[in-house]
C-alpha cells in the first residue's frame, strides 16, 4: 500500500502578473500570422512594391524632387509605414472579430488573464506583425531604391508606436464590430481616409490652407512625418509635437482598449 502523502489540489498563484498566460496569448497571436506568412508577410511586400512601381514608372521621371530628395526616395518611407500599420491593424482586428463570429472568444476571456494583460499581449502581436512586415518591405525596397538612414531613433520610435496605434485601433474595432461588414466600415471610413490624407504620397506644404490644417490635426500625419524624417532628414511638421501626439494618442487608445476589455463591452453576455 502506498503510504505517500497525497496533497489536495490548490489554486495556482501567478503573482502580480500572469507571465505564463501573457506569454501564451502573445505566442498565439504571433504564430497566428506566421503560420500563413504568404498572406500576412509576403503579400504586403508584393503589394507595396506594386505601389512603388506604379509611382516610379508614372511619376518618377516627371515629378520634381521634394525637399532635395528624389520623389521615389521621398515616397519609400511612407509606403513602408503604411504597410506596417495596415498589417498591425489587420492582425488585431481579424483576431478579435473572427473569435467573436466563431464563438471562441470565450477561450480568451476564461483564462486568469487581466484586461491589461490581454490588451498588451494582443496589441504586441499586432506590433510584431507590423514591424516584421516593415522590415521585409524595407529590405526588399533597398534592391530597387537607395535608402538612407538619417536618424535611427525616429525610425524605430515611429515604427513601433505607429504600429501600436493601429494595433490598438484594430482591437477597438474588433471589439465594437458584430460582423465583418462593421469591421470593413472601420477600415473604409476611418483607417483608409486618414492613411491617404496623412502625407504618405505628398508633402503637406503644397496643400491649400484648409487641407494643411486638417493634415496637422491627423495623428497619422505625425507617425508618417517622423518616420520619414528618420530617412530623409526633413519633416513637414514639428518633430517634438509629433512625438507628443503619437505618444498621447497611443496612451488614450491603450486606456480605451483596456476599459472595453475590463467592462466586457460586447464580449460578455
- Name the pLDDT band for 220 (thresholds 50, 70, 90): very high
Report whether 88 contacts 167 (CB < 8 A). Answer: yes
Q: Looking at per-residue confidence, does 67 or 203 come out higher?
A: 203
Grid cell of 226 as nine digits: 517622423
Counting every residue, how long is the chain?
Answer: 269
Tens-digit pLDDT profile for residues 11-25: 666 678 889 999 999
- Torsion (CA) 161, 34, 180, 25 in degrees, nearest 10: -70
Each residue's pLDDT tens digit, 160-184: 999 999 999 999 999 999 989 999 9
Percent of the chain residues past pLDDT 90, beyond the cut:
62
Instruction: pLDDT band for 269, please (50, 70, 90 cuts).
Output: low
User: Looking at residue 162, what is its pLDDT?
Assistant: 96
Closest by CA to 226, choosing from 196, 247, 253, 197, is 247
Q: What pTM did the predictor assign?
A: 0.91
What mean pLDDT comes out for the span 46-74? Answer: 77
**Is the model's pLDDT at 3 over the cut of 70?**
no
Q: What is the DSSP string of 61-128?
A: TTSPPBTTB-HHHHHHHHHHHHHHHHHHHHHHHHHHHHHHHHT-THHHHSSS--HHHHHHHHHHHHHH
Q: What is the mean pLDDT of residues 258-267?
A: 92
Q: ∠ CA(146), CA(234), CA(69), 5° rounding?
A: 40
pLDDT of residue 67: 74
Q: Which pLDDT score is estimated for 59? A: 67
- The residues facing 66 across adjacent strands are 69
Q: Average pLDDT, whole number, for the chain?
A: 89
Chain centre to alpha carbon of residue 196: 16
Mean pLDDT confidence for 200-206: 82
Over residues 121-141, mean pLDDT: 96
Which of the four pLDDT bands, split at 50, 70 and 90, describes residue 214? confident
Largest CA distance in the chain: 91
The helix/strand/coil state of 202 is: coil
Nearest of 204, 131, 188 to residue 163 by alpha carbon: 131
| pLDDT level of residue 69 (50, 70, 90 thresholds) | confident
Tell me the β-bridge partners of 69: 66
pLDDT reported for residue 11: 67
- Dump pLDDT digits (tens) for 112-126: 899 999 999 999 999
Cell readout for 25 is: 496569448
Judging by beta carbons within 10 Å of its beta carbon (0-12, 13-18, 19+), is residue 19 exposed, middle or buried?
A: exposed
Q: Give the sign of the dihedral formed by CA 107, CA 112, CA 113, CA 115.
A: positive
pLDDT at residue 63, as a whole number: 56
pLDDT reading at 10 higher than 70? no
Amino acid at each position: 500500500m502506498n503510504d505517500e502523502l497525497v496533497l489536495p489540489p490548490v489554486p495556482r498563484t501567478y503573482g502580480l502578473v500572469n507571465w505564463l498566460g501573457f506569454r501564451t496569448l502573445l505566442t498565439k497571436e504571433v504564430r497566428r500570422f506566421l503560420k500563413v506568412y504568404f498572406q500576412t508577410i509576403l503579400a504586403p511586400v508584393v503589394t507595396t512594391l506594386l505601389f512603388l512601381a506604379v509611382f516610379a514608372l508614372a511619376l518618377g521621371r516627371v515629378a520634381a524632387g521634394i525637399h532635395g530628395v528624389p520623389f521615389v526616395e521621398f515616397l519609400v518611407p511612407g509606403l513602408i509605414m503604411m504597410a506596417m500599420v495596415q498589417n498591425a491593424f489587420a492582425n488585431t482586428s481579424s483576431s478579435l472579430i473572427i473569435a467573436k463570429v466563431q464563438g471562441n472568444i470565450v477561450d480568451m476571456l476564461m483564462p486568469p488573464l487581466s484586461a491589461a494583460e490581454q490588451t498588451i499581449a494582443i496589441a504586441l502581436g499586432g506590433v510584431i506583425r507590423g514591424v516584421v512586415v516593415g522590415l521585409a518591405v524595407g529590405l526588399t525596397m533597398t534592391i530597387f531604391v537607395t535608402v538612407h538612414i538619417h536618424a535611427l531613433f525616429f525610425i524605430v520610435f515611429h515604427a513601433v508606436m505607429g504600429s501600436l496605434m493601429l494595433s490598438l485601433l484594430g482591437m477597438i474595432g474588433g471589439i465594437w464590430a458584430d460582423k465583418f461588414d462593421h469591421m470593413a466600415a472601420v477600415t473604409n471610413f476611418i483607417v483608409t481616409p486618414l492613411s491617404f490624407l496623412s502625407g504618405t504620397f505628398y508633402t503637406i506644404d503644397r496643400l491649400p490652407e484648409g487641407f494643411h490644417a486638417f493634415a496637422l490635426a491627423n495623428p497619422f500625419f505625425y507617425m508618417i512625418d517622423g518616420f520619414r524624417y528618420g530617412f530623409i532628414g526633413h519633416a513637414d511638421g514639428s518633430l517634438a509635437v509629433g512625438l507628443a501626439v503619437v505618444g498621447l494618442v497611443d496612451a488614450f487608445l491603450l486606456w480605451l482598449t483596456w476599459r472595453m476589455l475590463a467592462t466586457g463591452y460586447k464580449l460578455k453576455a
